[in-house]
Every structure is written in structure tokens, then in C-alpha cells.
């Protein structure tokens, strides 16, 4: 009769997760030592293996996809610029490399840090649920499994909503003036089916600043983005962001942010 | 993660894109309960497993030309380096159950600890420990050149 350690303990020992003293036996047991070596070989082989990394051209492809998405018309089907990015990425022009690079680019562009600063409710992030499969693991948590997921996920509330864009607001130095221009633009926007949005021009507004702008505007993390427009603010390239904010008097919250670093320059008296 | 769990570029690309979409959509709702990286790993892992499920993939026969690794490994170097350099890791991973594969990938490729893997997979750390052990045990014969995986090694306990 033998009394060798089982794989679970030996495997955990590789990861430093074995109970204290569990490996004392290994020192004097060639069988367990051999088994530990075999399991360690597997772990090492996997750790040492490499997955092809995105090629150099992936970055250019991603940039092109993002540019195309940000300048694409948003009216059709209520598709906003953010969705346009996703559509462009779905075209997957260069396969996994682009997808991976695009993921990284978008995560960065979306301003992760800005998002992290926002709400801290205790609810499970919907996105975690959204890509789960039913009963994937026999021992898993079935409550988190929601089939069908991505298609059923709600639209991103912060900057996935219809957006009004348009020509550059010009050189400005007064927030009240900009607020007036914004109101006028919102009021004059021809309603589009289901959205009230108008197709954007080829402005180079930076959606990446949306999370930062929402925070600076005092908008809630779930406020829909209503307007983006470039302008020159006191000599600096800037972008106006306006969010729907039901709690405010006008239902709007706006801010001007510097284009280079998304730094807040002025809030709009909307 | 997507590449190793799905085992091929095309599925990995789809899973990666879906994960990315979910990340972007979910960013405003990320509540900070877990580390951001863990949250993203969870999304990516689930997307990859969804992709595997959608494709109805089953363990793929190992390409005999890709192995056996150990049998053809030349002496003189660390065995793990020889194996890593010669064996088709993907083919071996695809021959073990997806739940084991995910746990092993998150541990050995991503370097997550058992608690983090538990968060990603939504299972207790004890289950993580078991899945990693069973996954590695199943990979031992595959990486050593035995084409028949042994998902559960007969444990020589009393």
C-alpha cells in the first residue's frame, strides 16, 4: 500500500498553494518527486509558450479603423460613433492581430481611468454576465450565466447614445456663448428615426475623452452623450461634450475639454 | 487567453472582438469590486468559452507531426524548454476539457492566482485548484508524446 501525494496537492505546490508541509514527503519519495516534475514541466511549458503577437501593421490598421469609425455617419439605425467603432472592428481586416490591438487601443481610448473613477455600486457588471454561457462549468455559478449575451446587452449608456455633431464651433472664449451654440445645435438637429440624432460631419472629435468629460461635467456615468463638437477654446484645440443629465435644470451637462489630454477647460452653463 | 482557449486564430479573433465589445459596453458599469484586469480576464475567458461552445468544438486529434515532444527532444536542455519549443501547445490544450483548459491557461499563461481565477471563472478556489491539477495531469501525457490524454490520473493513494 502506498501513500503518495495526489496530483491536486502536487499541482498546488507548484503554485505555492499547497498546505504547509505537504511537500515533505516529496523529498523522500521518488515517485511523487517524479510526478511533481512532470506537472511542473507542463506548467513551465505553458508559461514558456508564446502566442503570436500583433504585427506591426496592426497598429496602422486599428488607427485606420478607428478613424473610419469616428468619422462614419451615425444616423442609420441609430448607430452612433461608438457603435461605429464596434462595427469597424467587426470587419476585422487583419484578423486576430488587429482585434487584439484594437481591444487594447479601445480600452485605452475609452479612458479606463475615467471609468474607474465613476460609480462603485455592488452590482455585478453587466458585461460580465453578457458573455457567459449557460451551464458552462458543472461546478460553476449558474446565476451568472446569461445566454445570448452580446446581442442582448443594453446599449452603453455613457457614450453609446445618439450624438449630435457638426461643424467646428469656431474660436471661442466665453462659456455662455458656447452654451448658446450648443443649445442651438441641439434644437436644430433634425430628428432621425428613433434617435433624434443627425449624422456627424467628419469632425475629429475624440470619443476617448468622453469618460473624462463626463466626470468634469458632473454627469453621471450612465448619462448619454448628446453632442460632440470641436472648437478652439482660447487658442487651444478643444472638444465640447454635452451629456443628457435628467437631474439638471436643462436636462443637460456640458464641458469643454482640451483635445490633447482631455483636461477640463470650462463647464457650460446649460 | 482567447487564443489559447479557442485554439485557433479565427475563433480567437471573434472571441477577442466580442470581449472587447463587452468591455467597452461594460466600462461605465464596472463597479471596481474586482481588479480591472480580473474583470477583463473574466470577460475574455467567457467570450472564448462561448466561442468554443458555439462552434461545438470537440477535442481535436493531435497532429502527429507536431509531437511527440519528449520523444524527439534532444538532450542537453531543460525539458520544459524543449517541450515548449517543439510541441503544439494548442493541440494539447484542445484535447482537455474546456473548464480545465481555462483554469490552466489563466494560471500558467496569465499568472493569476487561485483566488483571481476563481473570480474569473465564478468558482471557489478549491475548484480552481482541482481543475488546474486535472488539467495539468491531462496534459502530462500529451506533452510527453502520449496521444491518449488521461484526465484523471489514478491517484496512488491508499
- Partners of B16 on chain A (C-beta within 8 Å) are 96, 99-100, 103
Cell numbers that stand for A191 in this block: 430628428
Nearest CB to A7; choose among B23, B80, B153: B153
pLDDT at B29 over 60: yes
Do A38 and B140 make contact, defined as CB atoms within 8 angstroms? yes
pLDDT value of position A222? 64
Half-sphere exposure of A190 (CA within 13 A, CB side): 4
pLDDT of residue A231: 86
Identify the CA nearest to A9 among candidates B115, A1, A17. A17
Among partner residues B27, B46, B109, which is closest to A132 by beta-carbon distance? B46
Residue A22 C-alpha cell reads as 505537504
So what's the ipTM on this one?
0.72
Closest-CA residue of B relative to A148 is B50
Quote the pLDDT of residue B76.
42
User: Pairing state of beta strands A264-268 and A171-172?
Assistant: unpaired
Residue numbers in B near A120 (CB within 8 A): 31-32
Distance from CA of B57 to the nearest CA of A (A): 14
**Alpha-carbon distance A87 to B15, whole Å?**
15
Facing residue for A86 by CB, picked from B21, B121, B123: B21
Q: Which residues of chain A does B26 touch, with a Cβ-Cβ cutoff of 8 Å?
A: 125-128, 130, 153
Contact A149, A131 (CB under 8 A): yes
Edge-to-edge strands of the sheet including A171-172? A171-172, A225-233, A236-244, A252-258, A264-268
- For A6, other C-beta atoms within 10 Å of its C-beta total 16
Reported as a single tens digit per residue, the pLDDT across A107-165 is 554 444 344 434 333 333 333 433 333 333 333 333 233 333 333 333 333 333 345 66
Give the residue from chain A lying closest to B83, CA to CA.
A45
Q: What is the pTM of this model?
A: 0.48
Point out the residues of chain A with pLDDT beneath 50.
1, 56, 66, 70, 73-96, 98, 109-162, 190-205
User: What's the rounded Cα separation, in Å, for the pair A40 and B145?
Assistant: 16
Amino acid at each position: 500500500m502506498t501513500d503518495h501525494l495526489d496530483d491536486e496537492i502536487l499541482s498546488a505546490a507548484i503554485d505555492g498553494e499547497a498546505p504547509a508541509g505537504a511537500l515533505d514527503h516529496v523529498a523522500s519519495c521518488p515517485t511523487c518527486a517524479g510526478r511533481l516534475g512532470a506537472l511542473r514541466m507542463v506548467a513551465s511549458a505553458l508559461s514558456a509558450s508564446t502566442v503570436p503577437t500583433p504585427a506591426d501593421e496592426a497598429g496602422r490598421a486599428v488607427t485606420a479603423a478607428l478613424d473610419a469609425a469616428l468619422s462614419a455617419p451615425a444616423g442609420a439605425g441609430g448607430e452612433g460613433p461608438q457603435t461605429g467603432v464596434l462595427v469597424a472592428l467587426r470587419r476585422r481586416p487583419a484578423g486576430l492581430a488587429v482585434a487584439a490591438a484594437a481591444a487594447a487601443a479601445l480600452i485605452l481610448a475609452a479612458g479606463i481611468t475615467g471609468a474607474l473613477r465613476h460609480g462603485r455600486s455592488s452590482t455585478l457588471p453587466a458585461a460580465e454576465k453578457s458573455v457567459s454561457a449557460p451551464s458552462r462549468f458543472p461546478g460553476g455559478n449558474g446565476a451568472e450565466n446569461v445566454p445570448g449575451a452580446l446581442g442582448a446587452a443594453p446599449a452603453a449608456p455613457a457614450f453609446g447614445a445618439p450624438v449630435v455633431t457638426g461643424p467646428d464651433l469656431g474660436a471661442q472664449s466665453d462659456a455662455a456663448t458656447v452654451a448658446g451654440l450648443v443649445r442651438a445645435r441641439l434644437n436644430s438637429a433634425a430628428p432621425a428615426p428613433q434617435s433624434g440624432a443627425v449624422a456627424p460631419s467628419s469632425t475629429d472629435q475624440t470619443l476617448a475623452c468622453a469618460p473624462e468629460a463626463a466626470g468634469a461635467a458632473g454627469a453621471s456615468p450612465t448619462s448619454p452623450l448628446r453632442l460632440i463638437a470641436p472648437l478652439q477654446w482660447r487658442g487651444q484645440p478643444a472638444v465640447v461634450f454635452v451629456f443628457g443629465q435628467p437631474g439638471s435644470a436643462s436636462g443637460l451637462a456640458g464641458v469643454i475639454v482640451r483635445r490633447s489630454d482631455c483636461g477640463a477647460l470650462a463647464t457650460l452653463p446649460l | 487567453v482567447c487564443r489559447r482557449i479557442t485554439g485557433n486564430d479565427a475563433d480567437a479573433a471573434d472571441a477577442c472582438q466580442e470581449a472587447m465589445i463587452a468591455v467597452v459596453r461594460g466600462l461605465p458599469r464596472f463597479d471596481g469590486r474586482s481588479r480591472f484586469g480580473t474583470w477583463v480576464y473574466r470577460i475574455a475567458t467567457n467570450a472564448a468559452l462561448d466561442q468554443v461552445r458555439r462552434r461545438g468544438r470537440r477535442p481535436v486529434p493531435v497532429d502527429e507531426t507536431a509531437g511527440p515532444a519528449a520523444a524527439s527532444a534532444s538532450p542537453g536542455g531543460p525539458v520544459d524548454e524543449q517541450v515548449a519549443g517543439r510541441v503544439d501547445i494548442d493541440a494539447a490544450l484542445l484535447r482537455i476539457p474546456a473548464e480545465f483548459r481555462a483554469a490552466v491557461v489563466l494560471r500558467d499563461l496569465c499568472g493569476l492566482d487561485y483566488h483571481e481565477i476563481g473570480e474569473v471563472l465564478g468558482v471557489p478556489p478549491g475548484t480552481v485548484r482541482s481543475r488546474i491539477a486535472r488539467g495539468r495531469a491531462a496534459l502530462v501525457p500529451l506533452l510527453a508524446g502520449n496521444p491518449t490524454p488521461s484526465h484523471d490520473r489514478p491517484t496512488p493513494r491508499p
